[in-house]
Structure 1
């Protein structure tokens, strides 16, 4: 993300934290969790399918993080 924004990694993280209140990877994890939550609440998808669709990989990984 820093390369894409043409900033140094450190500068990008500093700006990102100022805007979102959290480091980039925490924000990404939170977005994945929110997406998984939406799927859990509104679909009949299996946990394995939700894990794959939201970037957690496996159901075991998803359960550990969620």
Structure 2
């Protein structure tokens, strides 16, 4: 399943996982404050994709 933005490739397709694979997210929509969330809570997190949905998986893992 392709995500709603970004290049159509395997790396950017749903589902997106947290870095440990503990959390998996499928999301259809836009997270408008994605860049703010990355900068404030995940400044050194190694993101795999260019998609905003991956930020949610990373945030859940970060706070759990």
Q: TM-score band, normalised by the shorter chain? A: under 0.3
Instruction: Flag the structure with higher helix content.
Output: 1
Q: Which has the higher contact order (CA 8 A, sep 6+)?
A: 2
Answer 1 or 2: which has greater strand percent. Answer: 2
